[in-house]
Copies of this chain bind each other. A is one copy, B any other.
Amino acid sequence: MVSPPRPKMPGLNSLRAFESAARHESFADAAIELSVTPGAIAQQVKSLEIWTGKKLFKRHSQGVELTALGVGTLSDFTTAFDALGEAVIKLRANAVPQEIRIAALPSIAQLWLSPKLPEVRAAMPDIIISLTALEKRPIMMREPFDLAVFYNERPIPEKTIAVGDDWIFPVCSPEIAVNLNRPEDLLDQVLLHDTAWSGDWKNWFYRFLPDQKLHVTGPAFSLYSLAVEEAKNSAGILMGHSTLIGEQLASGALVAPFDHKLDIKRSLTIEIAGHGVNTSVLQNIIEMLLLE
């Protein structure tokens, strides 16, 4: 009566953990990708190694390295999980075609996308547009988004649509601007920082005031939009990103006291999911976002 035992296959989760760890060559990065702790990755990988009977990684104190065996199968697993991810995303897109999911960098979501969405929603009242702010660009094959709006270094990858190049230049409230005539006037001012883009001031100074030692002492904000608000409140000078502060410059809430603009060689881009669902709706949304 007992049916013969079939040889067990390894758990699917251990395969996913291996694939992620192998792709990043890092348990820590895989842990971030899968939203678990590195210890969980280590355990899953170990269980797969026990199943195969061979080590998949060489452990070093500073990281891991794939063994020959691991190298040989990584691409198979990546292909398989890509296919699986696409199947899931396509399923979701087909199941809820009236919902469009957009992923964007928090700053882009708040400063660029959010102001444009009301118009898009008004034009497409039966479409639900959801917006998720992510610090890191999602892998469109693996995560359930229809559009992703992020920065890309130029030249931008294929399959992405350029929205505009990103230039940086100091901006501030009109009240403060009256005291600023030359870049040197910045030296005794409060310089507002975004924690994620702490290099902005350094880069700009390096380009336009190369002889000046920079004081990185200003207040730091974890969200660029907070820094924008503070700048509007005359709390200091902000390094403005051309792609993000268009609204504020247009309304006059912020002004650019100088003409010194630095191209940071990246563009705001829109990436479209490859699931092939809702293509025309997505095209319409993109067109509306690109206007003006």
Contacts and interface: CB of A to CB of B under 8 A. Distances in A.
Given A53-B95, A134-B6, A143-B9, A80 B84 contact: yes
A23 B50 CA distance: 31
Nearest to A109: B4
Interface string A65-80: 0000100110011011
A106 B4 CA distance: 9
Interface in A58-101: 69, 72-73, 76-77, 79-81, 83-88, 90-92, 94-96, 101
A13 interface: yes
A96 B134 contact: no
A133 interface: yes
- Name the residue in A6, A10, A92, A96 with the highest tally of chain B Cβ atoms < 10 Å from its Cβ: A6
Nearest to A82: B80
Interface in A130-171: 132-135, 138, 142-145
Number of copies: 2
Q: What DSSP secondary structure best describes chain A's contact surface? A: helix
A192 to B, nearest CB: 19
Contacts of A6: 35, 132, 134, 138, 143
Contact of A73 (B13, B54, B77, B87): B87
Given A4-B135, A6-B138, A101-B7, A95 B12 contact: no
Contact of A9 (B106, B135, B144): B144
A54 B91 CA distance: 10
Contacts of A54: 95-96
20 contacts: A6-B35, A7-B144, A7-B145, A9-B85, A9-B88, A9-B142, A12-B13, A15-B88, A51-B92, A52-B92, A53-B95, A54-B96, A76-B86, A76-B87, A76-B91, A77-B87, A80-B80, A80-B86, A81-B84, A84-B84
Given A6-B132, A9-B143, 4 more contacts: A6-B138, A7-B145, A53-B95, A73-B91
